[in-house]
Amino acid sequence: MPLVTQPAPTFDSKAVVNGEIVELGWNKLHEGKWLTLFFYPLDFTFVCPTEICAFSDAAERFEKIGAKLAAISVDSPFSHLAWTKTSRAEGGLGKMNIPLIADLNKNIARAYDVLLEDAGVALRGLFIIDPKGVVRHATINDLPVGRNVDEALRVIEAFQFVEEHGEVCPANWRPGEDSMKPDPDGSKEYFAAHA
């Protein structure tokens, strides 16, 4: 069964937060806010640091819309910590503004159905979880292609708009653009304006 519309699988795990290894419980991670949880294959690889650094650098943008971020892989917290102590110029992460969650037993990746069992790594899964703990969006990329920070932000803003206004968001919607009434007659107003 797809995770979208279902309660997000919860977990407690070790993570690197602010340069330290800590126990990170689901309640502390989620805190009743929007959460973008993204899986990546492995520490000390190639596409992964570009994604993690891009999301970490955008953490303040997520905070401004009431959302949190966390990255997760099947590596140990010690590997995560070592990677943050490696400079970006050398393929490392440097200082992180988001938690790096350890999933050494691979149970979290299994719960989110992103684990490649034979390879022992997670696909590039990205899950947007609402304040009630429900998965509202999921994308899963194969290993060689990274994700888009701006698209993750756009999707959260669209779901927030829907929650607040009760209208739906057409393709490529951005804040401030026209939305649609979710019924056959009401939607005609949008279609007429954008024909």
Q: What is the pLDDT of residues 39-98, one digit of tens each?
A: 999 999 999 999 999 999 999 999 999 999 999 999 999 999 999 999 999 999 999 999
Is the pLDDT reported for residue 2 higher than 90? no
Strand partners, 14: 23
pTM for the model stands at 0.96
Q: Which residues belong to the active site?
A: 48
Is the pLDDT reported for residue 105 higher than 90? yes
Residue whose C-alpha is closest to residue 149's, from 95, 82, 98, 80: 98
pLDDT, mean of residues 8-16 = 98
**What does each C-alpha distance from 33 to 69, 84, 128, 130, 134 come to in angstroms?**
10, 26, 11, 7, 11
**% residues pLDDT > 70 (the chain):** 100
Q: Which two tokens stand for residue 107?
A: 């149970």
Q: Which carries the bigger pLDDT value, residue 195 or residue 84?
A: 84
